[in-house]
Structure 1
Amino acid sequence: MTVSIRPHHLLCMLTYLGRGYTPDFVKNYDQIIQRLNKGEALSLVTGPDDICAPMLAEAGCHCHNDSVRVRDEMAARQISAVLKTSLVANMALRLTTSQVLALRAAFANGAIRAGCEGCEWHELCSNIASKNSGGAIWRP
């Protein structure tokens, strides 16, 4: 199996500590991270992914908004540059520890933060990144 992930969620996962919109969201996110930590591959998608799943039934769910699609596009471009590969829809990806560390370093120095502009979690993620992503749960 694979975990479906939209590109900007690759950025979110770099500093994820187990906080989120709702308890169901956090529980789902934790399970996804556990699957990835066990070596399951991810599949890049356009639009809502497995992380979005608990929010999709909510009125006004932001997961379908154009602004989120723009975040995905910016994130995909910047992550592609760090990984030296083009990220495309439906691409299977299994990131190594060294690739995640490279992404965390680029995130911390601001090189891959364009997809984070305007995000309500920006300050929290910046704080975590400034501490070398200490405590972040994603550890492939």
Structure 2
Amino acid sequence: MPEKSICRYETDSKSDSELLRIRAHHLCCIQGFQGYGYSPVFVANMRAVISDLEVFPSRPIKLVTVCDAICVSCPSKMECTVQESVLSQKIRQMDLTVLKILKLDVGTVLNADEAFRLINSKLNKASHVEEVCGTCKWRQKCLWYIQAGKQESEV
């Protein structure tokens, strides 16, 4: 059953008040973010999410393949919420690729610091990085993409 597309910085239930929904591929984006973005509102929100995860590294996150806490301020979010759109399918495929490499299911909940350790230890081949980020318009400005793509050649 596909996930519902909810574009709000929210939790799944009142009992999970600290649970943050994060698209799987955003685990890479968060680490490579330098302040560039689709709009000033997007940049401010991205900084807020990153700051929150830095202050609370053990915050539980739920890995999703739909609009998340970062997407909430993206000017393209309306197109992404249409499940059949080309953009939506392309971005969802990035998420599914990350989950496949990490051997995790959609909806997996884990602490943020654990998620970042996992992505940096498992998504460490240049071919994986290209598969996930190869068509991203931000890859040339993304510190994570630049660094992760070099790891395999240095080994």
Task: Tell which has more relative contact order, 1 or 2 (C-alpha 8 A, sep 6+).
Answer: 1
Partner of residue 41 from structure 2, selected from 24, 28, 33: 24
Question: Are 1:14 and 2:31 an aligned pair?
Answer: yes
Contact 2:64 2:106 survives alignment (8 Å): yes
Quote the residue 2:5 is aligned against.
none
Structure 2's unaligned 5+ residue stretches are 1-17, 83-87
Q: Which moved more, 1:99-108 or 1:113-122?
A: 99-108
Question: Are 1:5 and 2:22 an aligned pair?
Answer: yes
Partner of residue 133 from structure 2, selected from 116, 122, 126: 116
Q: What are the within-5 Å matches in structure 2 for residues 1-140 of structure 1? A: 1-37=18-54, 38-39=56-57, 40-55=59-74, 58=76, 61-62=79-80, 64=82, 65-78=88-101, 80=102, 86-96=103-113, 100=116, 103-104=119-120, 109-110=125-126, 112-113=128-129, 114-125=131-142, 126-127=145-146, 129=148
Structure 1's unaligned 5+ residue stretches are 81-85, 133-140
TM-score (norm 1): 0.71
1:104 deviates by 3.7
Tell me which amino acid in the other structure corresponds to 1:42: I
Tell me which amino acid in the other structure corresponds to 2:79: C
| Cα gap change, 1:41 to 1:120, in 2 (>3 Å) | same
Quote the residue 1:138 is aligned against.
none
SS in 2 for 1:43: strand
Deviations 1:1-36 (Å, cap 9, x if unpaired)?
Answer: 122111111121221222211111111111111111
Contact 1:52 1:63 survives alignment (8 Å): no
Structure 1 or 2, whichever has the larger Rg, is 2
Tell me which protein shows more helix as a share of its residues.
2
SS in 1 for 2:67: coil
Paired with 1:11 and 1:122, the residues of 2 have a C-alpha distance of: 10
Tell me which amino acid in the other structure corresponds to 2:74: M
TM-score (norm 2): 0.65
Tell me which amino acid in the other structure corresponds to 2:69: D
Tell me which amino acid in the other structure corresponds to 1:89: V
Paired with 1:5 and 1:94, the residues of 2 have a C-alpha distance of: 11
Give RMSD over aligned pairs: 2.8
Contact 2:34 2:141 survives alignment (8 Å): no
